[in-house]
A and B are shown apart, each in its own frame.
Chain A
């Protein structure tokens, strides 16, 4: 992983067209501004992880996995 120190007001460029600017930096969070081509999807990582988990949850649970899960649960 590339690690760079930045202050509020400073940016990093990813390729020619994508800029990530630190707008504000506080003790436990930073505010980022992102300029990127409209073709690039920008989403909070936890939202993407949850989307992927939801998709898996929707197709993966069938009668077999439900029975298996029930047998594992403390009764």
Chain B
């Protein structure tokens, strides 16, 4: 077991088999290639995407269906190849891939999720990328309101 210094949880043990490789990094963080995903019961359903090389870099993500239960995304063949995913069928979220939205919280504003560019991870091959779909109709700043559904009589 190796240890990683984390932004929020101190020093944690991790298994080398739980490291995910992002060959192209992420937009704005192109040099960051290796991450571990932390899913702590007391912070469920949040996913913490901790950089292995930079202690202070830890993205907070939400599974895409927590943000939008109807979410759907069509991958291009280039994206499937980039993620080492089979070309003959669409990948199943939760089974083949993790699909999660990056959360940001600009000062004083409602936190938002980037649904336009979800973080996708091939769970079997442990390869990830942020897939940018500018024409998907999804917002890069989807407000996380989670309002209670209106009661109907």
Chain A interface (Cβ < 8 Å from any Cβ of B)? 44-47, 49-58, 60-61, 63, 65-66, 68-70, 72-74
Q: Is there contact, CB below 8 Å, between A61 and B28?
A: no
Interface contact A73-B146, CB-CB below 8 Å: yes
Minimum distance in angstroms from B65 CB to a CB of chain A: 12
- Is B130 an interface residue, CB under 8 A from the partner? yes
Task: Assess A66 versus B134: contact at CB under 8 Å? Given A53-B141, A57-B60.
Answer: no
**11 new A-B pairs (CB below 8 Å) besides A47-B134, A53-B114?**
A46-B117, A49-B140, A50-B132, A50-B140, A51-B28, A53-B102, A54-B130, A57-B59, A60-B106, A66-B43, A69-B46
B residues whose Cβ falls under 8 Å from a Cβ of A: 8, 26-29, 43, 45-46, 57-60, 62, 66, 102-107, 111-112, 114, 116-117, 130, 132-134, 140-141, 144-146
Within the complex, the shortest CB–CB distance from B59 to chain A, in Å, comes to: 6
CA A55 – CA B28 in complex, angstroms? 6
What A residues does B43 contact at CB under 8 A? 66, 70
Give 12 CB contacts A-B under 8 Å. Answer: A47-B134, A50-B117, A51-B27, A53-B140, A60-B104, A65-B111, A66-B8, A68-B111, A69-B144, A70-B43, A73-B62, A74-B66
The answer for the CA separation of A40 and B32 in the assembled complex, in Å, is 25
> B133 touches which one: A46, A52, A55, A63 (CB < 8 A)?
A46
Minimum CB distance partner of B112 in chain A:
A53
Residue of A nearest to B26 (CB): A54
B134's partner among A45, A60, A70 (CB-CB below 8 A) is A45
Contact (Cβ within 8 A) B29 A61:
no
Report the Cα distance A54→B101, complex, angstroms.
11
B140 adjacent to A58 (CB under 8 Å): no
The distance in angstroms between the C-alpha atoms of A72 and B26, with both chains bound, is 27
B104 adjacent to A56 (CB under 8 Å): yes
* B130 with A50: CB separation less than 8 A: yes
Which of A46, A58, A70, A73 makes the CB contact (< 8 A) with B57? A58
